[in-house]
Each structure stands twice: as C-alpha cells, then as structure tokens.
Structure 1
Amino acid sequence: MLSFIAGLRGLPRTVWLIGLISLVNDSASEMLYPLLPLYLTSVLMAGPKVLGLIEGIAESTSSLLKLVSGVVVDRTKRSKPWIVIGYLMAGLARPLIAFVNSWGWLLLIRFSDRVGKGLRTSPRDALLAESVPRNKRGLVFGFHRSMDNAGAVIGPLMAALLLALHVPLRDIFFWAIIPAAITLALAISLKEPKQVIKIQEPGFQWSFDGMSPELKRYLFAAGLFALGNSSDMFLLLRARELGVPQAQIPLLWAAVSLITTLFGAPLSAISDQYGRKQFILVAWVGFVIFYLGMGIPGLPIYALYSLFVLYGLFKAATEGVEKAMVADLAPMGRTGAAFGWFNLITGVMVLPASLVFGEIYESIGPSYAFWFSGGCAICSIALLKIWVFRSNI
C-alpha cells in the first residue's frame, strides 16, 4: 500500500492534470448519461431500438475519429489541440439536449458529443503512455480511469439530487454547462511535452504494417468481445424494468462508478508487477457472469445489486489494464495509431452490438439479449486463452 501511494505521488503533473480534466468532464457527462434512457422513453416516446441506433451511430463515429486523431498525433507529435477541441465540442453539445423535441435531434447532439470524444481520446491516451516508463503504465491508466469514474460518481449523485428536488428532466441538462467550462479551462492549461524524438516518417501511417502479431490478435479478440458489450444504457433500462425506482437509477450507476474508482488504480498497478493477462481473463469471466445473470427473468433486487457490484469490479480490472496492454504492444513512435486502432475496433462494434441487442431486447425479450452478449464474451475468452496469449505478455 505504501508503495502504491508513493507511486501515485510520483506521477508527473501531466498525468494529474489529465486525471482532473476527466473527473470534471465526467461529472457533467455522467450526470446526464443515466437520464437519457428515461428522457428518451418518457419525453421523446422512443424505445430500445431507437436507443440502440443512437448509441451505435454516436459511438461508432467516435471510434473512427479516434483512429484519425491517433495517427495525426503520431505524425505531428502534438496532443493538446485535439484534446482542447474535443472537450470544447462535448461541452457545447450536452446542454442542447434540453431543447430537443424528437429523437432525431437527440441523435445529432449525441453525435456531436461523441465526435469530441473521438478527437481527444487517442491523443490523450498516447500522452499518458509516453509520460511514464513501461512498468508504471498500469498505474497511470488505472489512476486516470479512477479519476474518470470519480466524476461518474459525482455526476449521478447530482442527477439524483435534482430528481429528488423534482427538477424537470429538461432543466437538468442545463447544469452541464458549468463543468464544461471548467473542463475547457483545465484543458487549455495543459502543456505540450518537449519532444526528444524527431519525426522520421514521411507521411501518415494508417495501416497495420509494423504492428506486432500479438497486438493484432489482441485487437481481434477485443473486437469480438465488444460485439457483446452494447451500450450501458441497456443495463439501466433493464434495472428499471426489474423494479429499481427511477430516482435510484442514477444512484445505482454512481455505485458502479464508485467501485471502479476505488479499485481501478490498485488493480491496474498490480498488473505492472504480475502481468496484464490474468486480469483481463478473470475480468471477462466476471462480465459473462454479469450478463448471464441480468438475463434471468424476475431477478430479485438484491441479486441485481450484487451483479452491479460485480460489473463495477469488471470495469475496474479492465479499463486501465486493457489500455496498458495496448501501450505495451505498440511499436515505438506509433502509440497513437495503436490506441487509434484499439479504440476504433472496440468502439465501432458498439453500432452492431447496440442494434442487435436492441432488436433482440424488443423483438424476442431482454433475457435473450443479455445471453447473446454473454455468449460473445465466452468466445472471446476462448480466443484469449488459446490464441492471443500463446506467449507471455
């Protein structure tokens, strides 16, 4: 524990500042995120299919831009402009949700929000990876995800408070403008690191050429896993259907984020010493148990809450470690592209994942939708065990 605390204290200023930016930004994002399914169904009168369409298009677009921004950063060695523009777009988009009167406009605004995320994510991840040595990457990415999830605790608590005060859903979206302004100011204060390696590539490198076979296999398995990992909004929708009161939905999501916040950095730091492989395998098994359990008809409330605890631990054990794995396998000078491909492959699968999940959910039943996702995860675990991790990583 003492070494873990010492490691946190020794992190560079850039890592701490990016963590603070993510905390404030997610306070705004996650204040609204648990409310979108409620807003979509109760105000805009749309169902799970529309929810899947909106989230799939938004996240897939974001993923494509993550590749573009990652490749550009490898070439220009400048991360700050993309980070600032990305947070600016997201900050401007979210409060506009209060003005929409149809799900089409909500799709457009959600699309703009995710464009901002696509522009900033890979540059930010590359900057984090290059800020510390290899043996501290797990700690750095775990710390960043913990800060991000701390914002995801604050946001839903703010939403729950406003709902308890009977503030209309539309009005709550206006509150997102305050953390958006703070986030932008912090992003502007971010300093570009001094470059000690000169750019030697003649142009932008978009292909997999030069990427290690281990990275390619890992990306394939991660993509299959993502096919079963649809939008988290379906989890909140399912929780509401199983009997969780509307006012407690944000609290439930805040609890998941709190678990991820508390355990994300320590688990990721341990992976620096003992390897990333087992963390990912065990966490993906936890994901299977969670989704199979969520598909049980008439699931008792106490069991539902237990499963959401498990989901929080799953997120804590993977969010930082998976990115640290990508950084470990990335060729020198192409960290941005490696993160770009990882974010593209795992993110673009959200569109078919959400569309298929929404279709099964509405046409056949929620149980079969959750069991489909669990089946995809089982296949991914098999690939990790017998194909991806054939050598020690």
Structure 2
Amino acid sequence: MRTTSNALNFVILLGIVSLCADATYEGGRSIAGAYLNVLGASGAIVGLVAGAGELIGYTLRLVTGYLSDRTQQYWGITTLGYGINTLAIPLLALTGRWETAAALLIAERAGRAVRSPPRDVLLSHAATQVGRGFGFGLHEALDQIGAVAGPLTVAGVLAWQQSYQQSFAILLVPALIGLGVLLVTQRRYPNPREFETKTVELTGTGLPRRFWIYLAGVMLIAFGFADFPLIAFHWQNTGLTQTTNIPLFYAVAMAMDAIAALILGRLFDRNGIVVFVFAVVLSALFAPLTFLGSPPLALLGMALWGIGMGAQESIMKAIVAAMVPTLQRGSAFGIFYLCYGLAWFLGSALMGLLYDRSVTLVVGFSVAFQLAAVPVIISVIRQ
C-alpha cells in the first residue's frame, strides 16, 4: 500500500517535471514570434503557425487520451510527449530557416498534447491520497514557477548575448533536467495506480452523464474567458499603461495563478465543487476591470484573471478525476481538453471581432458567458 508521503513525493516530482518543461517551452514561445520575424516569416505565417499548433494540440489530446486508456501505456506516452515537447525548443538554436522553426514550434505543441491526458491520469491517482484539489493545485503552482522563470531566463540571455540561438540553446538545461526527473519518477513509481485505493464505479456504458453536463459548463467558461493577448492589445491600443509594464501585469496574474491553485485546491478538498463556483463568479469580474478600469483597477483585474486560470488548471481538472472511472480517465481528459480548447479558440476569435465594434460588448460577452456556467455547474452539485 502506498503511503500519503509517497503520493505527495510523486506529485512534487511530476510538478518538477512540469516546472522544467514550462521553463523550456514558455521560454521559447516568449521569443518565438520575434525569431520567426528575424528569419523572414510574415505576420500571416506567424499567426498560421500559432493557430495550427493549438488546433493540432487540442485535437491530438483526444487521440492520446483514448490510446492511453486502450494501451494502459500511460508512462510511455507521457515520456514520449515530454521528449517532443521539450527537445523541440532547444533545437530552434540550430535553425536558419523559418520553415524549420515553424515545424519545430508545431512539434512542441503536438508533444504537449501527447503527454497531457496520460500525465493527468497518473497525477490523478496520487491526488486521491493527498486530496485531488491539493494535488492538482500543487502541480499547477510548480508548473507556474517554470512559466515565469523560463521567459525571464531567455530575456536575460537575449539582453546579455543579443543572440536568439544562445537564448534557445540555454533552454536545453531545464529540458534535460525535466526529462531526467521524469525517468527517475517512472522508475521509482512504475504503477501510480496503486495510490488509488478507491475508484469511481461506472453504472452504465460510456462516461457518466454528470461529466457531460459539467463539460458544458466548462465550455461556457472557456468561451467567455478573454485571452491575455487581447487584454494586452487593448492596453497598448489605449495607452492604459506603458508597454514595459504589460509583462509585469502578466507576472502578477501568473503569481496569483500559482497561489490560487494551492488555496482553491485545499478548499475544494474540504467543500467540493461549490469552491469552483465561487472562483468562477469571482474571476468573472476581471473583464470590466481590465477593459474599462484605470491602471490600478486593471492590475486588480489581472489578479482576478490569474485566480480564474488557477482554478481552471487545478480544481477544474480535479473534478474530472473525481467523477470519471479510472479506466476511462485518459479518454475523459482528452475530450475535456479538446472541448475546452475549441471553446477557448472560438470565444477568443469572437471577442476579437466584438472588440473592433465595442469594448463594452467584449466585457458584456465575457461576463455573461462565465456567469452562465454557474447554474450548469450547480446542477452537477445537485446530482
């Protein structure tokens, strides 16, 4: 029988892997657009590469989630995904053509898609010992440390060496550390399913009805959650704050993401899905503050935006793990990621169109769809 301390160690080790992976690919993505420009790519190509990467990524999650359940090769698929996800970025240091760089950037998104569903299944087993909310929350907090450290490291190397190649090359260090920790974790815990002494029982065929109802609520949230590039574009367009302050506002959001993931995770373990409802209502207020407020209110809005992201990256996934049978969890996470990503993409595109007409329309759209998710999620609680 696996102990709670072993389960906690497992969550921390997977969190360190994600920290290193995030440092690698977020560091690379922070300068990828500028690097493609240097290599001669047009703005249309940059947009196409970004869109194709996300589309392939979210679609592939459905496939790898299903395959991981069918083959039970959760570790193997996770390791393959992390390898592609992290090694593609340092290889950008060897590129001299935008076509090659574009292929590597798309490969990075594909690798992230390959490893996400099976990784979350592995994490869900250990989270039953330490608390699902806390387990996913701790993992997200460690993940966000890497998301902040990577771009800062790249910015420092770029300012020091004035070289994109060296900035990408330095990211080989966290990539190799992360892969090393992953292999050690796999060897130490070959069967994380042993952590889960109680499993969700399935009373019929297919995923339970409450999963699909919950997924509808999640899609409403994603549909109305404004992406940061649109917020940053608005600030740049209106001169709300200096351009150099925009990354600092984003850093505040990332810090709140990590803190919220830990706190909300603990509260979720004690009080259930009602904590997620509270987080949705609270974070919905970010839209009027960031789009219509003064600089101090916009900063507060970014803090609320970070709380929303922290909830989505921790307890939103913990709820999936709690309501889905063990042997179908990979497929459930794959479906979850696909629907969430498509809703986010469509909502972001529509908010971009609305922005050209009226900022107030964007705010109303964002708040309305996020709050519309509340009664849907409450109906899951009643079940």
Fold conserved between structures, TM > 0.5: yes
Distance of 2:158 and 2:148 partners within structure 1: 16
Aligned-pair CA distance for 1:133:
2.5
Structure 1 residue 209: deviation in Å?
Answer: 4.6
Q: Structure 1: which amino acid aligns with 2:132? A: R
Q: Which residue is equivalent to 1:75? A: 70
In structure 2, give the amino acid aligned to 1:144: H
Post-superposition shift, 1:139? 0.8
- Unaligned segments of structure 2, at least 5 residues: 196-203
Instruction: Describe the SS at the equivalent of 1:189.
Output: helix
* TM-superposed deviation, 1:358: 4.7
User: Which of 351, 362, 367 lines up with 2:359 in the alignment?
Assistant: 367
Pairing 1:24–2:16 present: no
Of 63, 81, 84, the residue aligned with 1:86 is 81
Counterparts of 1:376 and 1:86 in 2: how far apart (Å)? Answer: 33
In structure 2, the CA distance between the partners of 1:174 and 1:31, relative to structure 1 (3 Å rule), is same
1:270 matched to 2:257 = no
Return 144-153 or 224-233, whichever deviates more. Answer: 224-233
Residues of 2 paired with 1:52 and 1:63: CA distance?
17
C-alpha deviation, 1:94, in angstroms: 1.7
Mapped to 2, the partners of 1:184 and 1:285 lie a distance apart of 38
Q: Distance in 2 between matches of 1:212 and 1:196?
A: 23
Label 1:324 to 1:119 Cα distance change in 2 as closer, same or farther (>3 A).
same
Query: Out of 210, 213, 221, which is 1:214 matched to?
Result: 210
Distance of 1:64 and 1:54 partners within structure 2: 15
The answer on 1:13 being equivalent to 2:5 is no
Question: What does residue range 154-193 of structure 1 map to in structure 2 within 5 Å?
Answer: 154-162=149-157, 164-165=159-160, 167-169=162-164, 171-191=166-186, 192-193=190-191
Q: 1:45 to 1:359 in 2, by over 3 A?
A: farther
Q: Does 1:223 pair with 2:219?
A: yes
Q: Partner residue of 2:371?
A: 381
Partner of 1:205: none
Shift of 1:20: 0.7
Q: What displacement does 1:323 show?
A: 0.5
Question: 1:226, CA displacement in angstroms?
Answer: 2.1
TM-score normalized by the length of structure 1: 0.80
Task: Show CA shifts across 1:40-65 (max 9, x none).
Answer: 67886755x76654433322221222
Structure 1 residues 1-393: aligned runs within 5 Å: 11-36=7-32, 53-97=48-92, 99=95, 102=98, 107-133=102-128, 136-162=131-157, 164-165=159-160, 167-169=162-164, 171-191=166-186, 192-193=190-191, 209-229=205-225, 231-241=227-237, 242=239, 244-245=241-242, 247-277=244-274, 279-296=275-292, 300-359=294-353, 364=356, 367=359, 371-372=361-362, 375-376=365-366, 378-386=368-376, 389=379, 391-392=381-382
8 Å Cα contact 1:157/1:251 also seen in 2: no
CA 1:20 to 1:134, structure 2 compared with 1: closer, same or farther past 3 Å?
Answer: closer
Q: Which moved more, 1:302-311 or 1:118-127?
A: 302-311
Instruction: Quote the offset at 1:18 in angstroms.
Output: 0.5
Deviation, structure 1 residue 392: 3.3
Contact 1:90–1:117 (CA under 8 A) maintained in structure 2: yes
- Residues 388, 285 of structure 1: CA spacing in aligned structure 2 closer, same or farther, 3 A cutoff? closer
How many residues end up aligned between the 2 structures?
Answer: 368
Instruction: Go from structure 1 to structure 2 and tell me whether the alpha carbon gap of 1:37 and 1:259 turns closer, same or farther (over 3 Å shift).
Output: farther
Find the aligned partners of 2:353 and 2:36 in 1 and give their Cα distance: 17
Shift of 1:237: 4.2
Inter-CA distance 374–110: structure 2 relative to 1 (3 Å threshold): farther
C-alpha distance in 1, partners of 2:69/2:144?
28
Deviations 1:153-200 (A, max 9, x none): 212332443455473556423322221121122222232216679xxx
Cα RMSD, aligned residues only = 3.4
With structure 2 as the length reference, what TM-score do the two structures score? 0.82
Moved more, 150-159 or 240-249: 240-249
Give the counterpart letter for 1:85 in structure 2: L
Q: Contact (CA 8 Å) 1:145, 1:320: kept in 2 or not?
A: yes
Greater RCO, 1 or 2 (C-alpha within 8 Å, sep 6+): 1
Q: Distance in 1 between matches of 2:22 and 2:72?
A: 26
Distance 1:374-1:175 versus aligned 2 partners, 3 A rule: farther
State the percentage of identical aligned residues: 25
SS for the counterpart of 1:333 is: helix
Deviations 1:114-140 (A, max 9, x none): 110111001011111122427711110
| More off after superposition, 265-274 vs 180-189 | 180-189
Taking the aligned partners of 1:357 and 1:372, their CA distance within structure 2 comes to: 6
TM-superposed deviation, 1:33: 3.5
Q: Which has the higher helix share?
A: 2
Q: 1:210 aligns to what SS in structure 2?
A: coil
